[in-house]
Structures are given as structure tokens and as C-alpha cells.
Amino acid sequence: MKTLLITGGSAGIGAETARRFRDDGYAVVNLSRRPCPVDGVTQIDCDLADPGFADALAPELEPHLDRADRLVVVHNAARMDRDTAGATAPEQMRAVMQVNVVAPTALNRLCVPAMKPGSAIVYVGSTLSEKAVPGSYSYVTSKHAMIGMMRATCQDLAGSGIHTVCVCPGFTDTEMLRNHVPAEALDSVRAMSAFNRLIDPAEIAEAIHWSAANPVINGAVIHANLGQVER
């Protein structure tokens, strides 16, 4: 059985990714606090912000892992705060890193032993995985760390037949973006794309699906951003 395990499949890129894999015949399991709106997806409620979430969900998750002949794990869930280098409390940084970095590590520890050759781990990074903007200190830091996680995963899984990649979306029309960017600034954000528009979440889902199917890009960082205009 082909199985997709995704975090944060309740909206945006996550929901569209669940839909894309389901349409390709995958059994899809979503881990999030809110349910995935896509028909046919198995929902496992969990809070990635809880340091003990992986141990708590393991008994419910293990049957899905055991049935998977090919398992794709997509680390999509993320927390994005408005914060700065000079004012971010250590507790806030720990909370962001728990969701964006520690939770993927905990899930890998559960999933990798069950992954057979042909499986894949896809990290969903960001255009801010290799650059920065003001006011997103903890998010930028965590997304830079995610590229390091992906590259380290590639090295540690060498010879296993499992490949890994980090897909870095540009400015995508999601709930997270609209919560972070004031409505009056959206035109400026659109203008940062060579196509002068926001990315549709389904476009990123297609890039994730392609990345999971092509082991030749093992260890790669894929920027899916329509070409950003640098000024």
C-alpha cells in the first residue's frame, strides 16, 4: 500500500498535498489539531507543540506504518510568529522550534524504521530557508535549520533506498501568509514574484508529489517560488 503521512493537512499546502496524493491512489494520514477537509483522509488528532506528542500517537499510527509498502512522510506543519532578534524570548523560540524542527525529528524516529526502499521524506521549507526578512526571526531560524535537517537525513539514510528533499515554497496564498502579511501589503508581496502573483497551494502540492517520486533529487533543495524578483 502506498501511504502518505503528512502534518498540518488541515488547510493550504497541506490540504492540497493530501488531495494530490489521495488522487494518486495513496492512503493518506493527516496529523494535526484540525481535521483535513479532503474526503478519504484518515485523521489522527495531535498537537505537535506537545513535546510528548509522538509517544502518545504511536499506537494509533503504527498500523498505518506497518501496512505501507511505500511511505512518503511530508513535514508540512509550521508555526510562524511575528518576532525579532532583539525581542524574542527563549521560551518563544523553543515553542517555534518544537513545531518546526523537533516535531519532524520525533516523527522521523517513529517512521524511518518502517520505511522500505522507494520511500521518501519531504521537508516543506520556505523561501526564508535561505534568506530572511524583518519580523520573522524564529520562523527564519527554524526554516534554515530545516535545510540542515534534510541534508543530514540524506547522509544518515544513504544506502537505505529512502530519499529526502526540501521543497521551499515562495509566497503562497495560504491562511498563514494572510495572517502574517497585512492586506494592504499583499500587492507588494505579489510584485516580488516574476509572475506578479501569489502561488496557488495546489502548485506546491504538485512539486511535493513530484519530489517524492524522484529519488534522483535526493538531498536537494527545491525552490518553488515562481522566480523571485531581487531588488
- Average confidence (pLDDT) over 109-138: 96
**Predicted local confidence at residue 199, as pLDDT:** 86
Band (pLDDT 50/70/90 cuts) for residue 231 is low
Residue 64 forms part of a structural domain? yes
- 3-class SS shares of the chain: helix, strand, coil, % to 5: 45, 20, 35
Query: Are the C-beta atoms of 128 and 139 separated by less than 8 Å?
Result: yes
> Residues 222, 223, 225, CA angle at the centre, nearest 5°?
150
SS3 category, 216: helix
The domain in which residue 52 lies consists of 2-224
Residue 192 forms part of a structural domain? yes
Residue 97 vs residues 51, 54, 55, 114, 139: alpha-carbon distances, Å: 11, 15, 18, 25, 8
Residue 229 forms part of a structural domain? no
**Predicted local confidence at residue 149, as pLDDT:** 98
Using the predicted structure, report yes or no on whether residue 47 has a pLDDT greater than 80. yes
When the pLDDT of each residue in the chain is averaged and rounded to a whole number, the result is 94
Q: What is the CATH number of the domain that holds 68?
A: 3.40.50.720
**pLDDT above 90 covers what percent of the chain?**
85
The β-bridge relationship of strands 70-75 and 2-7 is parallel
In this prediction the pTM is 0.94
How many angstroms separate the CA atoms of 88 and 137, rounded?
Answer: 8
**Predicted local confidence at residue 185, as pLDDT:** 67
- Average confidence (pLDDT) over 32-56: 96
DSSP 38: S
Of residues 64 and 190, more confidence is placed in 64
Residue 231 forms part of a structural domain? no
Strands (E), 49-112: 70-75
Q: How many residues in the chain?
A: 231
**Predicted local confidence at residue 180, as pLDDT:** 67
Neighbours of 223 (CB within 10 A): 18
How many angstroms separate the CA atoms of 122 and 72, rounded?
Answer: 7
Neighbours of 110 (CB within 10 A): 17
Model confidence over 134-193: pLDDT tens digits? 999 999 999 999 999 999 999 999 999 999 999 999 887 777 767 766 777 677 777 778
Domain count of the chain? 1
Residue from 201, 135, 205, 138 nearest 171 by CA? 201
Residue 150 forms part of a structural domain? yes
Residue 64 vs residues 60, 67, 102, 132, 198: alpha-carbon distances, Å: 8, 5, 22, 38, 35
Model confidence over 92-102: pLDDT tens digits? 999 999 999 99
- Average confidence (pLDDT) over 112-127: 97
- Average confidence (pLDDT) over 54-75: 96
Residue 48 forms part of a structural domain? yes
Strand partners, 148: none
Residue 75 forms part of a structural domain? yes
Element (H, E) at 133: none
Residue 230 forms part of a structural domain? no
C-alpha cell at 136: 520573522
Neighbours of 221 (CB within 10 A): 17
**pLDDT above 70 covers what percent of the chain?**
97
